[in-house]
Amino acid sequence: MIKMPQREKTRTEMWPQSLEWHVTWHWLEKYLPEDGVILDAGGGPGRYTIELAKRGYDVVLLDIDKKQLRRAREKIQERGVEEKVKIIHGSVTKLKDLESDTFDAVLCLGGVLTGLTSIDGEKRLTEKRERMKAIQQLKRVCQVEAPIFLGLCGLALVLSTWIGFFPDHIKDLPAFLDTHLLQPKGETEKYFFHGHYFTPKEAKDLVGKQGLHVENVVGLQGPAAPVLPLLEDIEDKEKKDIIREICVKTSDMPGMASISAHFLVICFKR
Ligand SMILES: C[S@@+](CC[C@H](N)C(=O)[O-])C[C@H]1O[C@@H](n2cnc3c(N)ncnc32)[C@H](O)[C@@H]1O
């Protein structure tokens, strides 16, 4: 029987949501410098920060949510990497405590630009100028030739999930398609974030307009994306490994970014 999609917050912790983490790391490993200082912008509970610190990088973890940062601090201490990590409370749209041309790489993963929130945490910043400000700031703080990784939430999978699972709310979709702004209400609120969802073309244009060179746009769940809930019952490690490998190998095939729940834009400051 087809199950409802899992809640977003489990995506990097549990199978099959962990596919996103796995494919992301494939691409991080390909483009990250061997060492240096990395900004994890909107890093929330610090999953990427901790892994980066364990791999020897110095990391600045920045987020707008003080509660997430407290949780991150505890985990960072538990894992014994606190000397490698500096935690900053702030907004990716300002980065006011960070100097220009500083970082060897910048991460802004997990749909931060979809759910951009104001500094007081009270409202979603859904206007295009806020996404542009964020990208300008990420560009400003990284060094020339440094990679910037943007993990964005895709529009197409929201449409197909919504059509399949929430036919009673189908009248909300034309406005979403026009604006890319999703404002879930009622039962849909449990499964979707309020925010701006991207197409790969839109993301490339936005990033290109800020003067960044787009190197690659890859899907993070690829062929597994439309059937993610069906994978939940798979327990066999070998089968999971094969699915992970398929998702990695197909991630840069044409169209995979479009159908994924999340896709990654890899760009460079030139
Ligand atoms: C879904 S979480 C992703 C966390 C992490 N990047 C990951 O992939 O595991 C989105 C994060 O973006 C943060 N965020 C939202 N608006 C922000 C802003 N204006 N500046 C910095 N962080 C922001 C949220 O607080 C949250 O921690």
Question: 195 CB under 6 A from ligand 1?
Answer: no
pLDDT at 163: 95
Nearest to 192 by CA among 249, 261, 240, 242: 261
Atom of ligand 1 nearest to the CA of 121: 16
Is pLDDT at 10 greater than 80 in this prediction? no
Which residue puts its alpha carbon closest to atom 18 of ligand 1?
91
Average pLDDT, the chain: 94
Question: 64 CB under 6 A from ligand 1?
Answer: yes
pLDDT at 158: 96
Q: How confident is the model at residue 25 (pLDDT cuts 50, 70, 90)?
A: very high
Distance 103 CA to ligand 1 centre (A): 19
pLDDT in tens, 82-141: 999 999 999 999 999 899 999 999 999 999 999 999 988 789 999 999 999 999 999 999
pTM across the whole model: 0.95
Which residue puts its alpha carbon closest to atom 1 of ligand 1?
110
Mean pLDDT value across residues 49-74:
97
Distance 235 CA to ligand 1 centre (A): 30
Atom of ligand 1 nearest to the CA of 42: 22
How many whole angstroms separate alpha carbon 11 and alpha carbon 237? 18
The DSSP code sequence of 14-71 is STTTTHHHHHHHHHHHHHS-SSSEEEEET-TT-HHHHHHHHTT-EEEEEES-HHHHHH
Hey, what domains does the chain have and what are their CATH numbers?
8-269 (3.40.50.150)
Which residue puts its alpha carbon closest to atom 3 of ligand 1?
110
Mutate to test the pocket of ligand 1, among 6, 18, 64 (most ligand atoms within 8 A of CB): 64
Is pLDDT at 1 greater than 60 in this prediction? no
CB burial of residue 215 (10 Å; 0-12, 13-18, 19+): middle
Which residue puts its alpha carbon closest to atom 25 of ligand 1?
65
Question: 16 CB under 6 A from ligand 1?
Answer: no
pLDDT in tens, 45-55: 999 999 999 99
Which residue puts its alpha carbon closest to atom 7 of ligand 1?
110
Is pLDDT at 8 greater than 80 in this prediction? no
Nearest to 65 by CA among 12, 127, 119: 119
